[in-house]
């Protein structure tokens, strides 16, 4: 009896299985990358109500991060600077600038500026700024060199795997307390020796279990 289907059709199930595997692998890889913070969040650069230049203020003028973010060393949250901070200088410097009109209106009405937060962690994540600064983790480790940014953008994914990478091996990120806001700081040749000493003195032992960040 003659065969109904040609011999090559016997390979169809194998080809179909291979195609399904390839499709699943491709879709997994697609969402693994394009759905991750490394793709969706890195590069986020929102438009602010005032074109504030960190390059000018923190870079050219050398204003320390803590002058504007006043509670970062004592609070879990890095505060968004209140209008009073801006007006400390701009009552005198460029008091009539059109760019600063929203700041002057905020000052006159008492209504806060509507700054757009750039680094925004999910609500289910607990992060303490003061604890990290106390340990000696510099601002640039998470935020990049903002002193060179005209417009601040997110440069790190701030994902769980990214955080755990530091928690598991923090030595290379620890620096002297007086260097935490120094955007140009680089580790010295004896960094590991320094880190071991600081970890012992401050009892630094970053958690790597779930309860460390999810409370």
Q: What is the pTM of this model?
A: 0.83
The pLDDT assigned to 34 comes to: 81
The pLDDT assigned to 182 comes to: 96
Distance of alpha carbon 154 from alpha carbon 175, whole angstroms: 22
Average pLDDT over residues 124-129: 94
pLDDT tens column, 146-161: 999 999 999 999 999 9
Confidence class of residue 2 from pLDDT cuts 50, 70 and 90?
low
The domain locations on the chain are 12-39, 45-80+115-203
């Amino acid at each position: 009896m003659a065969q109904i289907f040609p011999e090559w059709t016997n390979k169809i199930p194998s080809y179909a299985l291979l195609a399904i595997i390839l499709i699943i692998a491709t879709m997994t890889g697609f969402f693994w990358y394009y759905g991750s913070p490394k793709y969706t969040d890195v590069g986020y650069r929102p438009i602010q109500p005032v074109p504030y230049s960190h390059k000018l203020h923190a870079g050219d003028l050398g204003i320390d991060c803590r002058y504007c973010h006043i509670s970062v060393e004592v609070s879990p949250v890095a505060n968004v600077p209140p209008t009073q901070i801006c007006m400390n200088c701009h009552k005198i410097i460029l008091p009539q600038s059109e760019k600063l009109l929203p700041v002057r209106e905020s000052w006159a009405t008492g209504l806060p500026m509507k700054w757009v937060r750039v680094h925004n962690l999910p609500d289910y994540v607990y992060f303490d700024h003061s604890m990290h600064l106390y340990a000696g983790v510099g601002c640039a480790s998470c935020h990049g060199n903002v002193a060179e940014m005209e417009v601040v953008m997110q440069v790190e994914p701030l994902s769980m795997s990214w955080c755990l990478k530091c928690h598991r091996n923090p030595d290379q990120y620890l620096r002297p307390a007086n260097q935490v806001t120094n955007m140009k700081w680089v580790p010295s040749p004896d960094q590991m020796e320094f880190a071991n000493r600081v970890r012992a003195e401050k009892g630094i032992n970053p958690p790597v279990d779930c309860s460390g960040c999810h409370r």
